[in-house]
Amino acid sequence: MKNTNIDLGQMELDDQVVAIKRVTKVVKGGRNMRFAALVVVGDRNGHVGAGLGKSAEIPDAIRKGKEDAIKNMVEVKMNEAHSITHDIIGKHTGASVLLKKAPEGTGVIAGGPARAVCDLAGIQNIRTKSLGSSNKQNVVLATIKALSELKSPEEVARLRGKSVEEVLG
């Protein structure tokens, strides 16, 4: 899932905290409280990533999550209608996310975790359906996995040895 060939130098990144969990560890002296933050980062122009940060303080957990998300950024292939190039299903553990391309003017039809990923990727027209587990972390990771596996019409045409017009119909 890691994509290392993205140049982060001149990108303006937006981030969104999807979930903050309080995690408790029971030890001899009592309970240790820590926090885990799930953060999605994107430039609203075809790049998006998600990360998990854990710390004793919420701001530190969010900062660590943002740093992790930047390391795990992927590139998203989009068409001229600011939608995805084709329908796809992304799976991560028990969560599956169905992403369907949509015409201009549809908007982002998505639930909470998938909506955050689509918004920060810069997708403006898409329909999604979360299938299986509703665990926020797994839904976010399934959505990012699906977006990273998208192929552009040019790639498909090259792989099949056809022209772009033949592939698009």
Residues 13-46 have pLDDT tens digits of 999 999 999 999 999 999 999 999 999 999 999 9
Question: Where are the chain's structural domains?
Answer: 14-74, 76-159
In the predicted model, what is the mean pLDDT of residues 92-102?
Answer: 94
**In whole angstroms, what is the distance from residue 39 CA to residue 120 CA?**
11
Higher pLDDT, 79 or 1: 79
Fold type of domain 14-74: Double Stranded RNA Binding Domain (3.30.160)
Q: What pLDDT, on the 0 to 100 scale, is given for residue 10?
A: 62
Q: What pLDDT, on the 0 to 100 scale, is given for residue 1?
A: 45
**In whole angstroms, what is the distance from residue 141 CA to residue 18 CA?**
12
Please name which of 89, 77, 71, 48 lies closest in space to residue 2, comparing C-alpha atoms.
71
Is the pLDDT confidence value at 8 over 70?
no
In the predicted model, what is the mean pLDDT of residues 90-118?
Answer: 93
In the predicted model, what is the mean pLDDT of residues 120-131?
Answer: 94
Instruction: Spell out the alpha helix ranges (H) of the chain.
Output: 58-71, 112-121, 136-148, 153-160, 164-168
Fold type of domain 76-159: Ribosomal Protein S5; domain 2 (3.30.230)
